[in-house]
Amino acid sequence: MSTPSPSLREAQDQVDQWIKTIGVRYFSELTNLAILTEEVGELARIIARKFGDQSEKPSDRGADLGDEMADVLWVLMALANQTGVDLSDALARNIEKKTQRDAERHRNNPKLQS
């Protein structure tokens, strides 16, 4: 039996609790932005080598794409916590914005027609 996945709000709370207890304290926002950039770069390297034209290096073998994505999500949630952003609310607003803005845009894009 698996444990149900946390909501974004619950995940943000888990990251906050971990940082305040095990991690001691938050890094500065600028440091976390630099770490986020680093984690996105690691994710990009794996995707470029797994799905793109680059060949894998021996050090890439066994790379866990999901773990790399989780690293990105972790730091993003830390930044959200630091700056007072509720990612659940932000995501809901963002989906609504995209839905209104792009209601016909992609359907009418000849590049996306099969």
Indicate the average pLDDT of the chain: 93
> 76: pLDDT confidence band, cut at 50, 70 and 90?
very high
- Domains located in the chain, CATH noted: 8-87 (1.10.287.1080)
> Quick one: pLDDT band at residue 40, thresholds 50, 70, 90?
very high
Q: What is the mean pLDDT of residues 15-31?
A: 97
31/14 Cα distance (integer angstroms):
20
The sign one gets for the Cα dihedral 77, 80, 86, 92 is: negative
* pLDDT over 70 at 111, yes or no: yes
Assess whether pLDDT exceeds 90 at residue 16. Answer: yes
The predicted pLDDT at position 114 comes to 73
Mean pLDDT (whole number) for 28-33: 98
Q: Model pTM? A: 0.86
Cα torsion angle, 92, 93, 96, 102, sign: negative
Confidence of residue 1 (pLDDT cuts 50, 70, 90): low
- Minimal CA–CA distance to 43: which of 33, 32, 51, 55? 51
Taking CA atoms, 34 is separated from 11, 20, 29, 87, 106, in Å, by 21, 20, 9, 20, 33
Please determine, for residue 44, whether its predicted confidence score (pLDDT) is greater than 90.
yes
